């Protein structure tokens, strides 16, 4: 058993190549050797990921606020605290906070054999973020 105490888990700013706006990342697995990655991701209002996919899928659980989520070929949908979302393996998608609302979610995904948990693509443009389904 390994207990990861809160003070030892450093919060990092999400890199600009993967996020639009201000996003904070907390790696809750603390470098555990499992291929499962769990992160608490905090988005300021309007902040969002770039388009991406995961080799084994991804589970999001919304902890607080309102999330806006998009997947390829469809307009965004909004989900709220207490909701969970599953993305299939290889499904191209993005997620972030709704306009004017902060949002925090837990992100759970498994890395592939090379250690990659995500493949990143281009940023989500404002027109796609703001359009309705």
Residue 120 lies in a domain: no
Domain count, the chain: 1
Mean pLDDT value of segment 80-109? 97
Residue 119 lies in a domain: no
List the structure tokens of 3: 């207990």
Residue 107 lies in a domain: yes
pLDDT digits (tens, 9 = 90+) for 43-77: 999 999 999 999 999 999 999 999 999 999 998 99
pLDDT digits (tens, 9 = 90+) for 13-36: 999 999 999 999 999 887 666 788
Question: Residue 48 maps to which CATH number?
Answer: 2.60.120.10
Q: Do residues 72 and 121 touch, judged by C-beta distance below 8 A?
A: no
Residue 127 lies in a domain: no
Secondary structure of the chain in the HEC alphabet? CCCCCHHHCCEEECCCCCEECCEEEEECCCCCCCCEEEEEEEECCCCEECCEECCCCEEEEEEEEEEEEEECCCCCEEEECCCEEEECCCCCEEEEECCCCCEEEEEEEECCCCCCCCEECCCCCHHHHHCCC
| Containing structural domain, residue 27 | 9-113
Residue 125 lies in a domain: no
Q: How far apart are CA 111 and CA 49, in angstroms?
A: 18
């Amino acid at each position: 058993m390994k207990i990861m105490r809160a003070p030892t888990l450093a919060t990092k700013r999400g890199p600009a190549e993967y996020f639009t706006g201000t996003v904070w990342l907390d790696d809750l697995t603390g470098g555990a050797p499992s291929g499962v990655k769990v992160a608490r991701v905090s988005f300021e209002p309007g902040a969002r990921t770039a388009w991406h996919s995961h080799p084994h899928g991804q589970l999001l659980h919304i902890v607080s606020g309102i999330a806006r989520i998009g997947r390829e070929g469809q307009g965004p949908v909004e989900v709220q605290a207490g909701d969970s979302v599953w993305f299939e393996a290889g499904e191209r998608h993005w997620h972030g906070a709704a306009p004017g609302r902060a949002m925090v979610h837990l992100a759970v995904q498994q890395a592939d054999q090379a250690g990659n948990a995500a493949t990143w693509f281009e940023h989500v443009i404002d027109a796609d973020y703001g359009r309705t389904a």
